[in-house]
Every structure is written in C-alpha cells, then in structure tokens.
Amino acid sequence: MSSFDSLEDLSYGEEGFFPFSTASKPHHSTPHPSAITSAAAAASKAGSSPSSVSFEAPSLLVAPEINSSRDVERVMSNQEEGRRVVTWAPAEGGLNDDGVFLTWEDLRVTASSGKGGSLPILQGLTGYAQPGEVLAIMGPSGCGKSTLLDALAGRLGSNTRQSGDILINGRKQTLAFGASAYVTQDDTLMTTLTVKEAVYYSAQLQLPDSMPLSEKKARAEMTIREMGLQDAMNTRIGGWSSKGLSGGQKRRVSICIEILTRPVLLFLDEPTSGLDSAASYHVMSRIVGLARHGGRTIVASIHQPSSEVFELFHNLCLLSAGRTVYFGPAAAANEFFAVNGFPCPSLRNPSDHYLRTINKDFDQDIEKGHGVIPTAEAIDILVNSYKSSTTYQQVSRRVVEICKTEGRALDKKGSQASFLTQSLVLTRRSGVNMYRDLGYYWLRLAIYIALCLCVGTIYHDIGMSYGSIQARGSMLMFVAAFLTFMAIGGFPSFVEDMKIFGRERLNGHYGVAAFVVGNTFSSIPYLLLISVVPGAMAYYLVGLQRGIDHFVYFSLVLFVCMMLVESLMMIVASIVPDFLMGIITGAGIQGVMMLNGGFFRLPDDLPKPFWRYPMYYIAFHKYANQGFYKNEFIGLTFPNNQAGGPPTITGKEILRNIWQVEMGHSKWVDLAILFGMVITYRVMFLGIIKVLEKVKPMIRSLLTVPPEKSPQVVGAPSVEAAA
Ligand SMILES: Nc1ncnc2c1ncn2[C@@H]1O[C@H](COP(=O)(O)OP(=O)(O)OP(=O)(O)O)[C@@H](O)[C@H]1O
Ligand SMILES: [Mg+2]
C-alpha cells in the first residue's frame, strides 16, 4: 500500500481537498491521445475539419472562441467521453475578493558577470497566473525557472537587475513577508525536530489564536497525511550530522509547512524533486486541488513531470535560456510542437519531448522529419513561432486586461497568531532544538567543565599571600575573557537557526521580535547551567571568597557575559551569515575588546584617543573584570610585601591602586550595565534585521529599471534579434 492510499476518504473541510477521486483520475498511460483529441475537439468547435488539427497552431484553433475580455482559457475534462477538450470558459468570479491575479510583462533579469558585463537570465517574459489555476514553469536545468519564481516573489539576489512590470491584481506591490508562500528549491528545516513537531509548531505559529489547539493539531496531521508522510511522522528530519528523512520526504515537509494556511498565492520551486512518479502525482494533485477548489493561485516550476502529472496543469510556461518557448494551456503545447515540426513521438511523455527538444546544454541534435537540425536552431524556430502566434497575442491581451482591472491590494500580514503565541511557540521549539543539538550547549558544557577543572587545579587553593593578589586577578580575568569567549562555539548552530528564521520570516510565519524573544528565553536555562556547574568547580577549587552571595554574583556575571557574547554573535550573524567568516569576525571583535578591557593594559595607561575613549567603555570586559574584582577583593586583607609600606593591604586599596578599578559604584552596577548591554545588543540585532528588510526592497527597486530604460542585454541573442 502506498503512503497515499489511506487518504482516499479524507477531505479538507468543505473545500474537499482531494479533487481527484479514482473515477476522475486521468487514466492515460501514454500521453498524447488526450492532447490530440483536445485539438480535434477544439478544431471541430472552431468549424475546421479534424484532419487539419495536426497542421495548425493550437492558438489558431481556439482563437475564434474568445468572445469577451472576461474569457479565460481552460482545460476541461470530459469524463464521459474519456477525452480532454480545450475550451474557453468565463473566469469564475473574475477579480474576486480573495483571488490573486499575478501578471508580468516584458520581464528581464540580468546578473552582473564581473568586469562590468551583465549576463541575461530572463529575456522579456510575459505571462500571468490566476486564481483556481496552476501554472507550471518547465525548462532545462539553468533556463531560469528559479529566477522567474524569485522575481515574481520579489526575492531576487542583490547582484541581479530586473526590468519590466510585475503586478498583483493589477497593482505594483512588493511581495514577501507573508503576502505569499514560497517553497524554495532548497529545504531549510530544523533538523532536530520530527516531521510531526516541525509541522505542528508551524501550525501554531501561523494559524489564528481563535482556532483551538486540537484543531491546529488536526490540521497539521491532516496536511502531513496529505503529503503521504504519515509513516515518517515521528522521524527526525536530520541533517548533515545525523541521517533522518530522505530528500523527497524533506521536500514534502517543506510543502506541508507552506500549505498549512492555504495561502492565496503559492510559489513552489520543484516540489516533486526527489519523489517517485506516484508520489509526484499525489503531491501535485493535492496542490492542484488547493488551486482548483480553494481558488488559490499557484505557480510551480517542475522538472520532468510524468504524463499524468503534466495533465494536472492548467497553463504551461516553457523556458529555454531565459526565453519563452511556449506559454499557454498545457494541453495545447503538443500541437504547438507538432505544428512547428517537432511532433511528440508516440509512447513518449510530452514533457520529456519538450525538454529534449529545447535542451541545448549537451549540444545534441534532434530528429526532424528526415533530417537533423541543431538544438539552438530548433529553439529559435519555436521561440519565433510562439512570438508570432495568436496564443502569444491572447496572453498579452489577457495580461493587459488583468492590469486594467485594478483589484484589491494583497494583504501583507502573514501569521495570524498573536505575538505572545509566536514567542511562546518559538521559545519551546528553540528549547527543544537546543536540547537535541549536541553542538548548541551540551558540547560547550563539557568543554567548560574541562576548562574549569583546569583553572581549578592550576589555581588550586589560592591562599591569602601577597602573590595571590596577582593570581586572583589573572584567574578572574581568564574567566571574564576566555570562558565567555567560548560562547562563540554555538555560532554554527545559530547560523542554522538564522537560515530557518530567514525562510520563515520571508513567508511571514512570525516577526523578528518573536524570534529574538524565543531565542533569548530558550537559551537562559542552558546558559545558567553552564555558568553554575563549571563555575562552581572553578570557584570552589580555587577557593575564592566564601559566602554564597559571592558565588551567586560570580555565576551571574559569567552568565550575563556568555549571553552578551551570544548577542554579539547574533549581530555578527545578521551581517555576516557565513559561519566561518562570522566566527572569525566575532573572534576578532572580542580580541580587541579583551585587549583594552583594563587587564592587559591598565586603564590609566591606555592611550586616550580611541582606546580609552570610547573603546574601554564599549568593551564588556571592563565591567566584567571590575565586577569580579570588587566581588573578590572587597572585604579581604592581604599581607603587604612592598618595602616601606604598611604591613597589610586591604582589598579596596588593591582595587584602587593596583587594578585601577572605578570605585564610585558597586559591583551590582557593573552587573546591571552588563544586563543593559545584553538588551542593547539584542535590540541592535532586531534593528539591523528590520533595517535590512526595509533597505533591501529599496535597493531592489533602485536596481529595477523601468521598461523603457531596460538594460541592453548581451550574450544570448534576444527573441527580437532572432526574429
Ligand atoms: N545571481 C546570479 N548571478 C549569476 N548568475 C545567475 C544568478 N542567478 C542565476 N544565475 C544563472 O542564471 C541561470 C538560471 O538559473 P536558475 O537557478 O533560475 O535556473 P533553474 O532553471 O532554476 O535551474 P534548475 O532547474 O537547475 O534549478 C543559471 O545559468 C544560473 O547560473
Ligand atoms: Mg531552479
């Protein structure tokens, strides 16, 4: 039994999420008859003889059927006759309240190729996606499918330039942060969670507070079942360190998470990668069901769909090297290829045929009638034929119509859960992740224990001699600087968290503040554990000042310093997302702070410009050292070995004269300043993310060239040039 078999009787509320019952499933094991009959039927409707079908472009066959601007092309299944018919049917409801019409006109994307040159990626694409339909983007690897999806979803990289109009419901609107959902080509998932946990946490994060928890759980489980993952529900997702789900299963988890809320506009980049043909069919049929029955607009890039999967698509956008080879009803593509001299051989999957015809990466020749022509030439023929076809004119006309009808602006809000719910769920999820990820805190705890044992044995029973003053100072400095420095060890895990945050944030699952709150509160128990257990070992083995209040202060400073280093690393991660570069940057910053923290060079000896003012006051080591020193030395009296001095020296005198500590405030003020710095650093992190979110679209719009000033593309010949 396949993982999907048990789902036949499931439905999704009133919408009925399983549109393809066994009876209505297309049964074609070979692909072509459907398309041929569709052309025949269309031809007979248009008043031409069926025999003319194989020689006429599909657009010519359906053109007379367009009567009004409200007509849209549709592929309707004719179950009784066991064939599919290409017809034109009025759009259901037109620009209704919930539906999203997405159009793009003369869309060009270029990437900078160094030396001031630019590389064309997309070359003047025009098309649309509308509610209730699935648009499939197909083409050879590297033809620009992901780039098109990124451009439509407003997520192009900063080294690309874009021109042309992308409109949502006829309006210019920046997508992202919850306005649409996007399942990207790479799966970025929390590897320590099980499938059930990942989807359930996501449901809690995105679904409204008014929905009972049991219902959220049921929705999560049902979505998991819809994606055929019920057998892997309790399997951990797994990553590079521990094997968990298979690639195809991870893909389905990514889809689950994004379809939980039934988004009105959904982008999917190769949702069926890594899936077998049966799983691909089931996954795609559910996605098509979401569009068809929920009135959602879905754009999906897809590699190598089986003929059954191909028949599920409404519209097809076929790209080759960034140019449109075909955009129109998926069922009519077959005739388009046939008419242009590339008929699909019998017993071959049409999508395989299209891709083989237009893939020039391997410079293979394709057969054409009696002779052979190069692939590049075949592509030019198809591209030019499409540009001069009525299908192209219809698509352009449809785009203009949609653009003219200005609909409602798309709601930007993503998650419907409250800030409190988001923070609580994120705290719990992050806590679970930290608990299960050995590299986050457990390894650090072990290293801290080892290091504190080293400190404890090297400074063991430090005593009250004059020499112990220097030893105390060094030991406390080591704790303030090097033990806290070790907090950098969690950076790789945090970078992974940031990747997940980046994806979820772009899809509007929660806000930056909720992420910061979740990360802060979930780390507190672990940091407390690390500062108390190894801290106690070092403290009592060395024999620092007795009294629990002194130890509590010592642990608190250690705790807050570790939190501070983590906050600093969060800021680093927001600017330098690569973990190796981030660790080097973070270590460098801390090295500088350590150097002018008042130990390696006494405060009065620090050069006044820059190092004393302001660096000495910015370095958290200053406050940590001074707090530790006050905690340890105040109340103690040491014998004085200095010639000519009094027989004893008090702790306060040591602080003032030897360590040059500021005695105007108590140790608690130092601790409070450290806490204040933690909050400042975390707010800075939040601010940086927010600013980057605002600035990035501004940079993008600056790089977006108005259509009339489109950059002159170089490299591959453009459609116009070829024509
Ligand atoms: N930022 C960029 N800088 C330079 N080249 C880029 C950039 N983005 C994309 N490209 C190039 O543009 C082309 C299209 O890339 P894209 O990722 O869109 O392909 P794709 O159709 O999604 O391929 P695949 O099916 O393998 O995922 C590729 O040749 C790629 O190298
Ligand atoms: Mg891609």
Q: Which bound ligand lies closest to the C-alpha atom of 144?
A: 1
Antiparallel, parallel or unpaired: β 265-269 and 297-301: parallel
Residue 683 confidence (pLDDT) above 90: yes
* Secondary structure in 3-state letters for 364-383: CCEEECCEEECHHHHHHHHH
Dist. CA 350 → ligand 1 center (Å): 24
DSSP 182-219: EE-SS----TTSBHHHHHHHHHHHHS-TTS-HHHHHHH
Q: Which residue has the higher pLDDT, 396 or 409?
A: 396
Residue 44 confidence (pLDDT) above 60: no
- Summarised one tens digit per residue, pLDDT across range 160-212 is 888 998 999 888 877 656 678 999 999 999 999 999 999 999 999 999 999 99
Q: Which bound ligand lies closest to the C-alpha atom of 147?
A: 1
Dist. CA 153 → ligand 2 center (Å): 14
Q: Decide: residue 708, CB within 10 A, 0-12 exposed, 13-18 middle, 19+ buried.
A: exposed
* pLDDT of amino acid 602: 93
Is 160's C-beta closer than 6 angstroms to any atom of ligand 1? yes
Q: Packing angle between helix 195-206 and helix 213-226, nearest 10 degrees? A: 130
Q: Which residue has the higher pLDDT, 68 or 474?
A: 474
* pLDDT of amino acid 368: 47
* pLDDT of amino acid 230: 94
The enclosing H or E element of 690 equals: helix 667-703
Residue 83 confidence (pLDDT) above 60: no
* pLDDT of amino acid 209: 92
Q: Please, which residues have CB within 8 angstroms of residue 176's CB and are 6 or more apart in sequence? A: 153, 154, 155, 506, 697
Q: Which residue has the higher pLDDT, 205 or 703?
A: 205
Average pLDDT over residues 3-18: 38
Residue 292 in contact with residue 19, Cβ under 8 Å? yes
Residue 283 in contact with residue 272, Cβ under 8 Å? yes
* pLDDT of amino acid 412: 64
Q: Which atom of ligand 1 is nearest to the CA of 144?
A: 18
* pLDDT of amino acid 239: 80
CA distances from 78 to 26, 44, 621 (A): 10, 15, 76
Residue 395 in contact with residue 127, Cβ under 8 Å? yes
% pLDDT > 90, the chain: 63
143/127 Cα distance (integer angstroms): 16
Q: Which residue has the higher pLDDT, 496 or 242?
A: 496
- Summarised one tens digit per residue, pLDDT across range 459-469 is 999 999 999 99
Is 142's C-beta closer than 6 angstroms to any atom of ligand 1? yes
Residue 566 confidence (pLDDT) above 80: yes
- Summarised one tens digit per residue, pLDDT across range 117-157 is 789 999 999 999 999 999 999 999 999 999 999 999 988 88
Residue to mutate, 108, 143, 269, 361, ligand 1, most ligand atoms under 8 Å from C-beta:
143
Q: Whose CA is nearest to atom 30 of ligand 1?
A: 142
268/720 Cα distance (integer angstroms): 30
Residue to mutate, 107, 112, 146, 272, ligand 1, most ligand atoms under 8 Å from C-beta:
146
Q: Whose CA is nearest to atom 27 of ligand 1?
A: 141
Which of 37-41, 643-647, 702-706 has the highest mean predicted lDDT (pLDDT)? 643-647
Quote the mean pLDDT of the chain: 82
Is 157's C-beta closer than 6 angstroms to any atom of ligand 1? yes
Helix residue ranges, H only, 359-466: 375-387, 390-404, 419-436, 443-458
- Summarised one tens digit per residue, pLDDT across range 345-379 is 988 899 999 998 888 777 655 554 434 678 888 89
Residue 439 confidence (pLDDT) above 80: yes
Dist. CA 696 → ligand 2 center (Å): 22
Average pLDDT over residues 19-24: 31
Q: Which residue has the higher pLDDT, 294 or 222?
A: 222
* pLDDT of amino acid 498: 93
* pLDDT of amino acid 376: 85
Residues with CB under 5 A from ligand 2 (ion): 145-146, 185
- Spatial CA neighbour of 169 closest among 395, 400, 409, 397: 409
* pLDDT of amino acid 713: 38
Residue at 337: amino acid letter = F
Residue 326 confidence (pLDDT) above 50: yes
Q: Which residue has the higher pLDDT, 255 or 80?
A: 255
Other CB atoms within 10 Å distance of the CB of residue 608? 9
Average pLDDT over residues 544-558: 96
Residue 303 confidence (pLDDT) above 60: yes
DSSP symbol at 481: I
* pLDDT of amino acid 130: 93
Residue 297 in contact with residue 101, Cβ under 8 Å? yes
At 36 the three-state DSSP class reads helix
Q: Which bound ligand lies closest to the C-alpha atom of 137?
A: 1
189/523 Cα distance (integer angstroms): 20
Is 141's C-beta closer than 6 angstroms to any atom of ligand 1? yes
Residue 37 confidence (pLDDT) above 50: no
Q: Which bound ligand lies closest to the C-alpha atom of 160?
A: 1
| pTM, entire model | 0.82
